[in-house]
Amino acid sequence: MIKFTIITLFQEAVEPYLKSSMMEKAVRKGLAEFDFVNLRDFGLGPHKSVDDTPYGGGDGMLLRCEPVFAAIESVKAKNPDAKVILPTPVGEIWNQKMARDFAGTSPAHYIILCPHYEGYDERILSIVDHKISLGKYVLTGGELPALIMIDSIVRLIPGVLGGEQSAEIESFSEGDNLEYPQYTRPEDFRGMKVPEVLLSGNHGEIAKWREKHSGKSK
């Protein structure tokens, strides 16, 4: 069982994906659990403010420490072992091996803190266990990175994906060894034909063809 607590101001942006398809199936099978904490609930003052302007000047607003610490501490009060993940463009770049490592530590509870606005007060890092970047580009918030991390972790949990084979292919993959091309019916679609060898029933030759055609990302 793997649990994710997502701390966000935009639950409505995240929840529909987790209630669909494989993520929903993982929950139904008792293999994953998702819950939300509304950062606004820990905001300051009558406006429940969660952000403020940067010392030293500059554009934009930064997430303040107090609401973030209070939100994280409210989750840790129930599970002190929960680990905090911060999606940030300056984190370690996410890859398949990391997804497998996270999926392999079970039972586990991850708190994903989704920043918004231009950034966060640096002191927030003192309560974070993993800083993760989804790539060298900047998004408006941590919600999409949270979903990508969750999806890539949860699909690796035994029992979430369909066939045995899916897991087997994964187990040899470090994320740079992509799957071979696949085809389903019809054999001939508008003149584009399925490679002969895949119709041959010769499993040895099919395995060789697949090995030869499995993509390596650059």
Binder among 5, 8, 11, 88 for ligand ADE (CB under 6 A): 88
Tokens describing residue 6: 């997502």
Instruction: Point out which residues pair with 141 in neighbouring strands.
Output: none
- Closest contact distance (angstroms) between CB of 7 and ligand ADE is 14
Calpha distance 84→51 (Å, rounded): 20
Considering only CA atoms, which of 147, 74, 150 is closest in space to residue 110?
150
Considering only CA atoms, which of 10, 4, 3, 2 is closest in space to residue 139?
10
Binding status of residue 11 toward ligand ADE by CB under 6 A: no
Tokens describing residue 17: 């994906």
Tokens describing residue 3: 């649990």
Residues 144-173 that bind ligand ADE (CB under 6 A): 145
Binding status of residue 89 toward ligand ADE by CB under 6 A: yes
Binding status of residue 119 toward ligand ADE by CB under 6 A: no
- Closest contact distance (angstroms) between CB of 132 and ligand ADE is 6
Binding status of residue 214 toward ligand ADE by CB under 6 A: no
Q: How far is CA 73 from CA 14, 33, 37, 67, 77, in A?
A: 22, 19, 11, 10, 6
- 128 or 161: CB nearest ligand ADE: 128
- Closest contact distance (angstroms) between CB of 76 and ligand ADE is 22
Window contacting ligand ADE (CB under 6 A); options: 5-13, 129-137, 162-170, 179-187: 129-137
Establish whether the linkage from the previous residue to 80 is cis, with ω within 30° of 0. Answer: no
For β-strands 2-8 and 108-113, DSSP reports them as: parallel
Calpha distance 111→6 (Å, rounded): 6
Give the interface size with ligand ADE as a residue count (CB under 6 A). Answer: 11
- 67 or 115: CB nearest ligand ADE: 115
- 52 or 141: CB nearest ligand ADE: 141
Alpha-carbon dihedral 170, 87, 144, 38, rounded to 10 degrees: 120
Binding status of residue 5 toward ligand ADE by CB under 6 A: no
- 129 or 179: CB nearest ligand ADE: 129
Window contacting ligand ADE (CB under 6 A); options: 1-9, 131-139, 161-169, 181-189: 131-139
Residues contributing to the site for ligand ADE (CB under 6 A):
87-89, 133-135, 137-139, 142, 145
